[in-house]
Amino acid sequence: MSKLVQNKNKDRIMSLPSNESLLNVAIEAAKAGGNHAQTNTSRRTEVIQTYAHDVKLALDVECQALIEKIIQGHFPDHGILGEEDETSVNGTKLGENKSTVEDNYEWIVDPIDGTVNFSHGFSSWCCSIAVRRGGEMVAAAVYAPDMNALYAATVDSPATCNGKPIHVSTKKTLAESLVMTGIDKNMIPGVEALTFFKKIAFACQKTRVMGSAALDLCWVAEGMADGYFEGCIYLWDIAAAGLIVKQAGGAGEIVALREEPHQMSYIASNGHVQEELKALIGKGVL
């Protein structure tokens, strides 16, 4: 390799942002988005579109636009994949001036995770922002304004809540575990409704359906819950909190890809019950 190429590579590496700087921007953006939603709770019924079991609010779009403005102000060449993007179904919105794939940074944004909760005035909702480079999540922030909780982590630092380190629980079996999940209403072709909910409910000590995947996972990271499963969830729901779980000592993995882009089945836990939970879910997903 020539000295010129070596010097260019060295300059490129030195110019890459640190994971800490990425996290700082993720926190800034998550707080801005979350606080905008909280400040405008009187507008929580301004619905743009309704679905069978979900809703899109004007505030979803507003919060994402605010978050994107902050990210692009710091990193104009970085890509952004957001739940409210028109391109979310067909691909990501990528910045210009990319060099090589391993240099690409992509921000994964869910401006209001738990929108139905928010629209009803239920406090279990949050703003979730992750950054990945070369396919690996490297920084993450989840901000829940109504709970005054800011969860954060980088791939090379411990997970925290409001700046204090957090760690997963020590429960060893599902029988003594609290597992967060969703209501699987005919979401997976060929699988009867509530199949996974019933499996989990009968196997663990208690199961909870709270309506915000990102917060569910943060509670696993904090040790308040021991496991998590969703049969049909999206990347922006779990990207940030999945890293937070891992940096808190837990485990998280995509166990199947579903039909829609960025849709998947995802299992996470304190690590001790991961294999038992995977075995329980079984062939309906894996």
Per domain, the residue ranges of the chain are 17-165, 174-284
Handedness of CA 233, 89, 28, 43 (dihedral sign): negative
**The domains spanning 17-165 and 174-284 adopt the same CATH topology:** no
Beta strands in 145-244 (DSSP E): 149-154, 157-161, 164-165, 178-181, 206-208, 227-234
- Continuous segment of H or E residues that includes residue 66: helix 58-74
Residue with tokens 């699987």: 184
Residue 7 pLDDT more than 60?
Answer: no
185-206 pLDDT, tens per residue?
Answer: 666 667 787 888 999 999 999 9
Task: Give residue 187's pLDDT.
Answer: 63
254-276 pLDDT, tens per residue?
Answer: 998 887 889 999 999 999 999 99
57-115 pLDDT, tens per residue?
Answer: 889 999 999 999 999 999 999 999 998 775 443 344 433 333 334 469 999 999 999 99
Task: Give residue 282's pLDDT.
Answer: 84
Of 94 and 12, which is predicted with more confidence? 12
Going by DSSP bridges, is the β-strand pair 157-161/164-165 parallel, antiparallel, or unpaired? antiparallel
Mean pLDDT of the chain: 87
218-236 pLDDT, tens per residue?
Answer: 999 999 999 999 988 999 9
Q: What gap in Å lies between CA 232 and CA 94, rounded to an integer?
A: 25
Q: Which two tokens stand for residue 192?
A: 């009867």
List b or e across 75-105, with b for residues whose CB sees 16 or more CB atoms inside 10 angstroms.
Answer: beebbbbbbbbeebeeebeebeeeeeeeebb
At 137, is the pLDDT very low, low, confident or very high (cuts 50, 70, 90)? Answer: very high
With both helix axes pointing from N to C terminus, report the angle between 235-247 and 213-222 in degrees, rounded to the nearest 10.
10
Contacts of range 47-52, beta carbons closer than 8 Å, 24 or more positions apart: 47/119
**Torsion on CA atoms 228, 230, 233, 237, rounded to nearest 10:** -20
Task: Give residue 184's pLDDT.
Answer: 73
- pTM of the entire structure? 0.88
Under 8 Å CB-to-CB from 252, ≥6 apart: which residues?
Answer: 217, 228, 238, 242, 245, 246, 266, 267, 268, 269
Per CATH, domain 17-165 is 3.30.540.10: yes
Going by DSSP bridges, is the β-strand pair 164-165/178-181 parallel, antiparallel, or unpaired? unpaired
Per CATH, domain 174-284 is 3.20.20.140: no
**Are the C-beta atoms of residues 205 and 273 closer than 8 Å to each other?**
no
At 51, is the pLDDT very low, low, confident or very high (cuts 50, 70, 90)? Answer: low
Check residue 121 and give left, alpha or beta (phi > 0: left; psi -120 to 50: alpha). Answer: left
